Structure 1
Amino acid sequence: MGLPWFALFEAWAVAKLIRSPTFNRGVQKVYRKINRIPDTEARNGQGRTGPSSFDHFRDELKDQFRELTWQKRPPRQ
């Protein structure tokens, strides 16, 4: 009697797993490794290229700190 419920749950779980982006990325990586296909994604975090938002934030802080410390320095003689 309990078998139809288990089959229904199994079908739901498999459908949920197949629709998962994380599962699909994992399958693609394994497929590429087995078939020796080079990666098409950039290595800089999920396909992004160039500097991240944190890099821009850090550069801005450095610039502001430089300006702040420059104003406090005594003039050269």
Structure 2
Amino acid sequence: MWFAAFEAWAVQKLVRSPLFNQAIHKVYRKVNGLPPIEPQNGGGRTGPSALDHFKDEVKDQLKVMFWQQKPKK
């Protein structure tokens, strides 16, 4: 009885440990051939971020809004 309670407590502590989770993520990325998550590698991203897409879209919309000819009345 006590051993089962201790085992459950130990497993819970291990699963919630940041170091354990980092190790699991590292192994997962290595097994699946994904780039490591590091700042010099863009945090593991392989392309532009959603923020980059958003900035480009806003720039394009502002160009159209300010550079188009206004309709004659």
TM-score, normalisation: structure 2: 0.51
Match of 1:57 in 2: 54
Alignment of 1:17-36 (within 5 A): 17-19=13-15, 22-24=18-20, 25=22
Cα 1:14–1:23 shift into 2, 3 Å: farther
Bigger radius of gyration: 1
User: Structure 1, residues 6-49: CA drift from partner, whole Å, max 9, x if none?
Assistant: x43331132234445844215888xxxxxxxxxx614323x212
- Fraction of identical pairs, as percent: 31
Cα 1:28–1:52 shift into 2, 3 Å: closer
Could you tell me how far 1:53 is from its partner in structure 2? 1.1
User: Is 1:14 equivalent to 2:16 in the alignment?
Assistant: no
**More helix, by proportion:** 2
Which residue identity is paired with 2:10?
V
User: Structure 1, residues 36-67: CA drift from partner, whole Å, max 9, x if none?
Assistant: xxxx614323x212211111111111111111
TM-score, normalisation: structure 1: 0.49
* Larger RCO (alpha carbons 8 Å, 6+ apart): 2
In the aligned structure 1, how far is the partner of 2:67 from the partner of 2:15? 56
Unaligned runs of 5+ in 1: 30-39
In the aligned structure 1, how far is the partner of 2:25 from the partner of 2:57? 38
